[in-house]
Every structure is written in C-alpha cells, then in structure tokens.
Amino acid sequence: MASNTFIKFTIRYRLSGDAKTESLDFVLNNQAVSAGTATVLILEALLPQDITTASRLFVSLILDGAEMLPEIPATGFASYDELYNWLQANWYIYGKWFITGNKLVLYLNTGLATQGTLTVTTTSKYVYTATIPEKQQEAYYYVNFIKDGIEVLPAFPEDMAATVEDILVWANQYWPEYGTWQVENNLLVLSTGTPAAIQLSVTGILPGGFGFGFSKGFDT
C-alpha cells in the first residue's frame, strides 16, 4: 500500500433511550487511528463474568500515569448497569462510554492523554450501611452495632465521637476484625468478605443521654 493511502470510515451510534444519532469519522493508516486530524485513544476493559450476589465491581482509569477523579464509591458497584450509570454521570468528561459484549469501552476525548489504562475488577464483598444523621454541635455520634442478634463489644462510647472522623478512628481501632470501615457521602459503611446478620445504626446523643436521628443500616 502506498504511503499516502488511507482508509476512512464512519461509525454512527445512538445511546439507549437517546433519540439523537451521533457519528465518529475515523482515518486508518499505518501509524494510528484518528478522528479527523486528532488521534483517538480507545480504551477497553474486560468485564468480569464470575459475578455473584456478593460481588462488587470496581473500575480504574489511569491517563498518562495519573488516576482519574472523582474517586469511585468505596463500596463499588453491584451491577454493570450501576457501574455504567455512574460513569455516565461522573466520568463523562473523559469521553464516550459503552458496554459492548463483555467489554467496557471508552472513546477518550481528543487531547486528554497520549496513553491510558482502563480496568474493571471484582471482589466478593458484603456491604452494610447506616445513614449518619445531622446533629447539634454539642451532641455526639453513637454507633449501635449488632451481629447475630448480639451487641458487639466493646460498645461504642456515648461521649467520644464529636465528628465523623472520630467514628472511623474508633471503629477501625476497636472493630477491625469485622471488616473495613469507611464513610461514603453521609453513610457509615462496613464491608466484609463473608455474609452475616448485621444491624448497623448511627444516632446523635446530646449530653445527658438524650438521643435523636436513629437510622438503621442493613446489607446492600
């Protein structure tokens, strides 16, 4: 093939539920795949197929050596649909996302990066959450943690946790054997590798023992 020979082709597509049809024009030569005059970087990741009800999906996007933000939820995603919807809402700035067959595909916006890596992994993880209520400034947080119908010991102190960070420090110090403790938005999250009958709740307690803002948490 002569050095000045190239092949041009157009891909037209429409997202599910979207009436608008869009297109990408590609030029293929022996150097790169390009759209117009700019190189298009296409990243693919195989989707795990051994998913169970306990599986959580995690996605990583690294462009030019840097992990992309915002960070994904600490608890991951329960399904491909949940993962895809999050990408569309939060990582749309990086390009166009597709799930096709057994792959997650990103057509990266031109000019963002020269190289990248896209991966999707899965772990078996059971997640238990409880809403962290708003509290008055002088109040403390209290966490009630019940496993198999029995309150876990040591019990959470009633007059110690003035901030959400205090909850995490104490839980990771005194309850580490039950799993990983994190805060995601306004949720206290416990992630474990095995199923259990767990009830988790967070309340606000005023000095003197008056409580408010009860919220139960169960596995998701």
pLDDT of residue 218: 44
Decide if pLDDT at 63 tops 60.
yes
pLDDT of residue 108: 92
pLDDT tens by residue, 128-158: 889 999 888 889 999 999 999 999 999 999 9
For range 52-57, the mean pLDDT = 78
pLDDT of residue 76: 87
Q: Where are the domains of the chain?
A: 41-124, 126-217
pLDDT tens by residue, 68-127: 999 998 788 888 999 999 999 999 999 999 998 899 999 999 888 888 999 999 887 788
pLDDT of residue 26: 53
pLDDT of residue 150: 95
pLDDT of residue 56: 86
Q: What is the pTM of this model?
A: 0.55
Q: How far is CA 9 from its chain centroid?
A: 35
pLDDT of residue 219: 47
pLDDT of residue 133: 92
pLDDT of residue 195: 81
pLDDT tens by residue, 10-51: 665 555 445 544 555 554 443 344 444 456 789 999 998 877
